[in-house]
Amino acid sequence: MRRKVLSTLLLAGIAAGCAGDRPVAYQRDGVQYGVTEGVFRGRWWSYYERGTSFLAGAFYAEARADFEQALAGRSRDSWRARTYGLHFVEFFPNRELGVVAYHEGKLAEAEQRLRDSLAMIDTARAHHYLDLVKKAKLADGSVQDTSEPEIDTSVAQATIISERALPFEVAASDDVGVEEVTVNGEEMPQRGSAEEVTFEKEVVLEEGTHKVEVVAKDLAEKEVKKEVEVTVDLTGPMIGVFAPIEPTVTPDGTVILEGATVDKNGVVAVEVGTQVLAESPGTPRLEFNSELPLSNGENVFVLAARDIAGNETRSAVKVFKGDPDSLEAKLWLMKQKYPDGVMVADASLNAVQTMMAISATPAESEIRLKSPREDRPYRHNRTLRVAGEVVLPTRIAALSINGEDIGELTGAPKESFNKRLPLDASLTSDQVSVTVHAKDESGTVLERTLTVDVRPVELNTRESRMPVAVLAFNGRDVESAQSEMLRLSAESALVSQGRFRTLDRTTLQEVLTEQQLSTALSSPDEAIALGRLTAAQVFLVADIFPHDQAGLEIKARVVDTATTDLVANLDVFIEDRGDRAQIEKASKNLAAQLAALYPRLSGEVLDARGNTLLLNWTDEDGLRQGASVLLVKEEEPWIDEDTGEVLAPGEFVPVGRAAVDSVSGSSTRATTVTGDEQEGVPVEKGMPAITM
pLDDT at 7: 43
Q: d(Cα 650, Cα 277) in Å, to the nearest integer?
A: 49
Amino acid identity for residue 662 in this structure: S
The residue that leads in pLDDT, 72 or 573, is: 72
CA-CA-CA-CA dihedral for 212, 217, 223, 228, to nearest 10:
-20
What type of residue sits at position 74?
R
pLDDT-derived band at 285 (thresholds 50, 70, 90) equals very high
Give the mean model confidence (pLDDT) for residues 424-444: 76
Confidence of residue 18 (pLDDT cuts 50, 70, 90): very low
The pLDDT tens digits for 111-121 are 999 999 999 98
What is the rounded CA–CA span in Å between residue 431 and residue 32?
70
What whole-number distance in Å separates Cα of residue 490 and Cα of residue 472?
11
Q: What is the pLDDT of residue 571?
A: 76
String of DSSP letters for 531-544: HTTSS-SEEEEEEE
Task: Spell out the residues 6+ positions from residue 300 whose beta carbon is closer than 8 angstroms to its own.
Answer: 316, 317, 318
Q: Cβ neighbours of residue 479 under 8 Å, at least 6 residues apart?
A: none
Is pLDDT of 437 > 50? Answer: yes
* Stronger pLDDT, 66 or 614, i.e. the higher one: 66
Compute the distance between CA of residue 544 and CA of residue 549 in angstroms, rounded to an integer: 14
Quick: pLDDT tens for 537-548: 888 888 888 766
| 643-656 mean pLDDT | 73
Q: Alpha carbon of 324 to those of 252, 292, 327, 520: distances in Å?
A: 11, 19, 9, 78
Average pLDDT (42-55) is 90
At residue 112, the 3 state secondary structure works out as: helix
- C-alpha dist (Å) from residue 47 to 65, 75, 365, 570: 9, 13, 90, 34
Among the listed residues 587, 507, 524, the one whose alpha carbon sits nearest the alpha carbon of residue 559: 524
584: part of which helix (H) or strand (E)?
helix 580-597
Confidence of residue 360 (pLDDT cuts 50, 70, 90): very low
Mean pLDDT, all residues of the chain: 81
> Are residues 639 and 647 in contact, defined by beta-carbon separation less than 8 angstroms?
yes
Q: 72-76, 100-104, 200-204: which has the minimum mean pLDDT?
A: 200-204
pLDDT, residue 290, reads 92
Asked if the model's pLDDT at residue 3 lies above 60, the reply is: no
| Cα 73 to the center of its chain, rounded Å | 47
**Position with higher pLDDT, 597 vs 19:** 597
Terminal alpha carbon distance of the chain = 81
Which DSSP symbol is given to 463? Answer: G
* Residue in 199, 210, 197, 198 with CA at minimum distance from that of residue 165: 210
Number of H helices, E strands in the chain: 13, 37
Phi-psi region of 192 (alpha: psi -120 to 50; beta: other; left: phi over 0): left
Q: pLDDT: is 645 or 512 the higher one?
A: 512
**What DSSP string describes 14-81?**
HHHHHTT---TTSEETTEE-S--SS---SSHHHHHHHHHHHHHTT-HHHHHHHHHHHHHH--S-EEEE
Return d(Cα 445, Cα 410) in angstroms, integer.
17
User: Phi and psi of 443, rounded to 5°?
Assistant: 100, 0
Range of lowest pLDDT (36-45, 370-379, 414-423, 640-649): 640-649
Confidence of residue 340 (pLDDT cuts 50, 70, 90): low
Per-residue confidence (pLDDT) for residue 24, from 0 to 100:
55
**Measured between alpha carbons, how far is 511 from 507 in angstroms, rounded to an integer?**
7
Q: How far apart are CA 580 and CA 576, in angstroms?
A: 9
- The highest-confidence range among 46-50, 572-576, 643-647, 671-675, by mean pLDDT, is 46-50
In this predicted structure, which of 59-68, 433-442, 472-481 has the lowest mean pLDDT? 472-481
Assess whether pLDDT exceeds 50 at residue 11: no
H or E segment at 127? helix 124-140
Transcribe 612-661 into DSSP letters.
Answer: EEEES--GGGT--TT-EEEEEEEPPPEE-TTT--EEEPPPEEEEEEEEEE
In sequence order, the β-bridge partners of residue 566 are 559
| pLDDT 10s digits, 181-196 | 988 888 877 778 888 8
Q: Worst-scoring range by mean pLDDT, 9-23, 291-305, 558-572?
A: 9-23
Cβ atoms within 10 A of the Cβ of 433, count?
9
Q: Is 511 left (phi over 0), alpha (psi -120 to 50) or beta?
A: alpha
Q: Mean of the pLDDT values across residues 318-343?
A: 81
* pLDDT tens per residue across span 574-606: 778 889 988 888 888 888 788 888 888 888 888
Mean pLDDT of 201-205: 80
**Per-residue model confidence as pLDDT tens digits over 503-517:** 877 777 777 787 787
Longest Cα–Cα distance in the chain: 141
Q: Is the preceding peptide bond at 247 cis, omega within 30 degrees of 0? A: yes
The average pLDDT across 517-541 equals 79
Rounded to an integer, the average pLDDT of 213-240 is 90
More confident residue, 357 or 248: 248
Task: Give the residue-averaged pLDDT of 95-105.
Answer: 93
Is the per-residue pLDDT at 9 higher than 70?
no
Give the lowest-confidence range in 4-18, 224-238, 344-358: 4-18
Q: Which residue has the higher pLDDT, 488 or 650?
A: 488
Residue 215's pLDDT is what?
Answer: 93
Most confident of 237-246, 429-438, 554-563, 677-686: 237-246
What is the Cα 640 distance to its own chain's centre? 45
Q: What are phi and psi of 127, to 5 degrees?
A: -60, -45
Q: Which domains does the chain have, with CATH numbers?
A: 2-140 (1.25.40.10), 150-232 (2.60.40.10), 238-322+363-454 (2.60.40.10), 462-597 (3.40.50.10070), 602-691 (2.40.10.410)
